[in-house]
Each structure stands twice: as structure tokens, then as C-alpha cells.
Amino acid sequence: MGLALALAAGAARLEAFDGSASTGGQALLMQLDARAVGMGSAYTAVAGGADALDYNPAGMDQLRAGQAEAGHLAWIQGVDDEYINTAFPIYGLGAWGLGLSYLYAQDQAYSDTGIPGGTFTDFSFSGKAAFSMQIGDTQNIGIEYKLLRESYGGQFDMGSAFDLGWQWVGGPGGIDFGAAAQNLGTPVVMGTTYNPLPISVKVGAVKHLSTWGLLSMDEEYQPFDSFNFVHFGGEISEPVGPVTPALRAGYIFGPQQAAGNLTGLSVGLGLGYGSWQLDYAYTPEGDLGLAQRLTLTYTLGD
């Protein structure tokens, strides 16, 4: 089997547990932002900037200045991802965002008799455009459109999807709430095979612990594959002179626990300096290896 399968390795791993994972466009489920991943991706109620394009488009409305982030994911079996997201508020017109992601791996061609041939690149490319606005004094809503283009083993597919999001900032007890429905779209076709997109429905909450930390939780359901996940995460952050270091940890309860070897655990570090924020996350992936993420964020006016 070629490295083309590596681009769907996450789905293949879950498929081994219960025989499902029937969806296509699996790259849309990749968790990219290093801060979010370091917190176990319990981020539906936390997202509040350019990172909202990957977690909850409503979160862009928390921005008071433009923001851009770029990142790199070194995933399992030689799969990498490069991405960039931007978001900017426009007074009286909500907040807007654009993003690009390119997931790729080198593959080796073989003849029917097993003789190695040339190499080629499998990839999954997505472009995103999002809008959010405030409703009332404390709630935000958002919508995002995604365009997907993939190539596996010389075959191509194309599809599109929508994300919908909601956030309530400063709810009862000082808890923020969020909800998102992601990857709502038509099936993608690969050759003569078509599969529905990996729809994901999430609800989450975050409690801010004064100014130095937070605790968050998400519940996630993927209806086509009947997968349930519970995400927990936390962050401690305190200024030290001109810099602000951060420590993060999280855990995801779900089918991946069958892989063992601390699968589901995540840890992360962050360092802020002026307008810049650098974040790192590390996640064990069981027998498949490990993944590392690095994200650099710049906020105008900080």
C-alpha cells in the first residue's frame, strides 16, 4: 500500500476499531492550530481569532484587530501540512477570514510485478472564507465556506462544505459556551467511488480562571461514522517581564484509545512577545508514531 493511504491514516486507524470510517475528505478533520491541539482540541468555545477558521467561525468576532497565523504539522508516516489563516474585524460589518491548507506526502509508484517506478505527491488542498457577526451584547454567530481538492494515486476529487458556529461569551457563572457544525456539504467523488464528507457536530464550554488560566471541554459527534469524542484541555499563562509563557495539556476520549501508547494525550507550550505568539504541540499517535505542530501568530496593534 502506498503513502496515498497515509493521508487517510487517521480514518483508517479508527476503522480498525469498529468497521466504520466511511467518509471522504478526511483532511478536513485534521487539527492544525498548535495552541488548540495542546489543549486537547477542546476549543469550540475558546477560539477567538484566526484560529477560529479551523474550530468555530463565530470566534472571529472576538477580534479587535487583524490577525494572521501560519503553521506546520509534521504528522505520521511522512505526512506534512502547511497552512495559513487570516482574520480581521471591520467596524459595523462583523469579522472576515481567509485560510489555506495544504496536506501532502510523497508516494512511490510500483508496477504490477512490484518493480519501483517514479515518485509522485498525494495531497489535499482546502481554501476557506468565513464571516462572523455579533448578535445581542454577548453572542456571536459565524459561517464558513470551504473548497476541497484532493489527489490520491493520480486520481482527483473535489468538493465543498460549510461550517456554522455560535459562541456565548460571558454566560452564566462566567462560563463561555460554543457550538459548531462542520463539513456540511455534498459527497466527494474519487474515481467511481463517492463518500459523504466527515460532518462533525461540537458543543463546548470554557471557564477562565482569573487572568492566568482556563479549563475547557468539548463534546464531539461525527454522525456518518458514529464516532463520539470528549475533549478536555487546560492552559496556564502568566506574563514574566516582556514575555508571556504558557503551559498546556489535554486529553481526548474516543475510539483512538484502542491504539494505546498514550494516544489521546496532548501537551503544548506557548511564548508570547508583543504582537507575536509562538505555539508548539506534541501528540502521541499510538503505533503510528507521533505528531508535532508549530504555529506562529501575529496580531496587529499589540
Instruction: Set out the domains of the chain in order of their start, with CATH numbers.
Output: 3-299 (2.40.160.60)
On the question of pLDDT at 139 being above 90, the answer is yes
Residue 98 and residue 129 in contact, taking contact as beta carbons nearer than 8 Å: yes
Can you tell me the distance from the alpha carbon of 255 to that of 245, in angstroms, rounded to the nearest whole number?
Answer: 33
On the question of pLDDT at 4 being above 70, the answer is no
Q: How many CA atoms lie within 13 A of 213 on its CB side?
A: 10
Q: For the chain, what is the mean pLDDT?
A: 87
The percentage of residues in the chain with a pLDDT greater than 90, rounded to a whole number, is 63
Q: In the predicted model, what is the mean pLDDT of residues 183-208?
A: 89
Residue 202 and residue 217 in contact, taking contact as beta carbons nearer than 8 Å: no
Q: How many angstroms from the chain centroid is the CA of residue 5? A: 20
Most confident of 98-102, 104-108, 263-267: 98-102
Can you tell me the distance from the alpha carbon of 302 to that of 300, in angstroms, rounded to the nearest whole number?
Answer: 6
pTM for the model = 0.88
In this structure, which amino acid lies at residue 266? S
pLDDT tens digits, one per residue of 158-192: 889 999 999 999 888 889 999 999 999 988 877 67
